[in-house]
Amino acid sequence: MNASGREAMAPWQARCIRAYIALNVRSKIRVMDLVRVVRFAPNRFDRVFKKTFDCTPHQYVMRMRIAHAQRLLLGTDDSLSKIAAACGFRNQSHLSNLFRKMMGQPPGEWRRVHSRSLGDGAPFERPLSLLPTLMESAMNTSPNVSAPGFVASGPVNKRNATLASTAEVAGRLLLALLFLLSGLGKLGAYGSTAAYMSATGIPGALLPAVIATEVFGALAIMLGWKTRVIAALLAGFSVLTAVAFHNNFADQIQMVMFLKNVSIAGGFLLLVANGAGSFSIDRRSAT
């Protein structure tokens, strides 16, 4: 019993419920799974859960799925079908119908509206407009929170969102600039570059493909077009270049060049994982 005499979960039990749902949000979650987490008698669980969270277990799981979907809508360029799978919905239609019912807008429209809000500082209209990760919500110490999420101040959100978007664009430009200049430089010194490639055992006939990869790959990254695919390609290209041209570790300069290429590949893998960000063709296409 809690202090008011009403039967409810202890705070640690509520945290365990949130954590379990967060860790399994993309999977099917049954009531009996939650019962086992907190070791409640099944005949008491629904009543105690509703007193703790002010909703049924099914409703709370759906709220957490929608909360996770909102975070992915704002934080990634993923398609609605991919987000639906990542949040445990049966399909895109299931996500869209429930999202519209809970938020008053289809997910695509909600993403467009709130992506613009991040850029122009418009106030957020709902508690779930911006979300921490589900695990942060899961560790909330208050048991009486009916859905994960928070209301943050508009100016702070605007500054953070602007900083994040600026960093994403700057990171893409800096990563791509080296490849763009390298590709253009090879065009200006085509003969000597082809001869250098031949001297290292790489056919000079591959030089046009190398230049195209560097120039067009760099432009795609700068614009944020097909970012994950192009970034994966350039990451592989960087590693292959390091192995082919900078494999003499007895030469300190060669070792530094090798590590430089590997580090650049690491930067591209971050783009593969996180996408291009808000200011990109990918984001506009996704909405």
Give the pLDDT band (50/70/90) at residue 6: low
Question: Taking a C-beta distance cutoff of 8 angstroms, is the pair 32, 42 a contact?
Answer: yes
Query: Residue 184: is its pLDDT beyond 90?
Result: yes
Boundaries of every domain in the chain: 11-152, 158-286
Segment 200-244, tens digit of pLDDT:
888 989 999 999 999 999 999 999 999 999 999 999 999 999 999
Rounded Cα–Cα distance for residues 214 and 218 (Å): 6
- Output Rg (C-alpha) for the chain, integer angstroms: 25
Torsion of CA 70, 73, 78, 83, to 10 degrees: 20
Give the global pTM: 0.49
pLDDT at 119: 52
pLDDT at 213: 95
- Stretch 8-36: mean pLDDT, rounded? 90
Q: Helix, strand or coil for residue 254?
A: helix
Q: Number of H helices and number of E strands within the chain? A: 14, 0
pLDDT at 286: 58
Give the pLDDT band (50/70/90) at residue 112: confident
- Stretch 30-44: mean pLDDT, rounded? 87
pLDDT at 127: 38
- Stretch 245-263: mean pLDDT, rounded? 90
pLDDT at 189: 92
Whole-number percent of the chain with pLDDT over 70: 81
pLDDT at 92: 92
Question: Taking a C-beta distance cutoff of 8 angstroms, is the pair 92, 84 a contact?
Answer: yes
CATH ID of 11-152, from 3.20.20.70, 3.40.50.300, 3.40.1280.10, 1.10.10.60: 1.10.10.60
**Between 152 and 18, the higher pLDDT residue:** 18
Tokens at residue 1, please? 């019993």
Query: Residue 145: is its pLDDT beyond 60?
Result: no
Rounded Cα–Cα distance for residues 140 and 135 (Å): 9
Instruction: Identify the weakest region by mean pLDDT among 29-38, 129-138, 243-252, 261-270.
Output: 129-138
Give the pLDDT band (50/70/90) at residue 116: low
User: What's the whole-number average pLDDT of the chain?
Assistant: 82
Question: Taking a C-beta distance cutoff of 8 angstroms, is the pair 185, 151 a contact?
Answer: no
